[in-house]
Amino acid sequence: GAGVSQTPSNKVTEKGKYVELRCDPISGHTALYWYRQSLGQGPEFLIYFQGTGAADDSGLPNDRFFAVRPEGSVSTLKIQRTERGDSAVYLCASSLLRQQNTEAFFGQGTRLTVV
């Protein structure tokens, strides 16, 4: 596609439910990143993939969060037993390579609201 695509754009869920957020990166981009942006804050790193493997998941806040990228393109961020504190915009970014100096392109984000 022309850019990074994220679905859904908005998700409202009840506390305790499970949610999946999807990211479709730019075709051919090997590196994929997930960030979380709370209101009034800069994006914070969650996890990144190089190909199919999670190369760095140090930003995942706890074991309720998990992400996969089984075929090296589309990625899904999964959140179990959602809590109100999980409410934020979840941004996905991709870059052609994972090296520094490579422009990262962001998706529109998924606004998650846990009620």
Partner 1 sequence: GENVEQHPSTLSVQEGDSAVIKCTYSDSASNYFPWYKQELGKRPQLIIDIRSNVGEKKDQRIAVTLNKTAKHFSLHITETQPEDSAVYFCAVPNNFNKFYFGSGTKLNVKP
Q: What are the residues binding partner 1 (CB under 8 A)?
A: 4, 31, 33, 35, 40-45, 48, 50, 55-56, 91, 93, 95, 97-109
- For residue 33, the minimal CB distance to partner 1 (Å) is 7
Residue number with CB closer to partner 1 (73 or 94): 94
Cα–Cα distance, 62 to 81 (Å, whole number): 11
- For residue 98, the minimal CB distance to partner 1 (Å) is 5
Q: Are 3 and 106 in contact (CB under 8 A)?
A: no
- For residue 32, the minimal CB distance to partner 1 (Å) is 10
Nearest to 58 by CA among 67, 42, 46, 49: 46
Nearest to 38 by CA among 91, 76, 87: 87
Backbone angles phi, psi at 32, to 5 degrees: -135, 135
Residue number with CB closer to partner 1 (12 or 55): 55
- For residue 112, the minimal CB distance to partner 1 (Å) is 14
Residue number with CB closer to partner 1 (14 or 109): 109
Residue 16 CB burial class (10 angstroms; 0-12, 13-18, ≥19): exposed
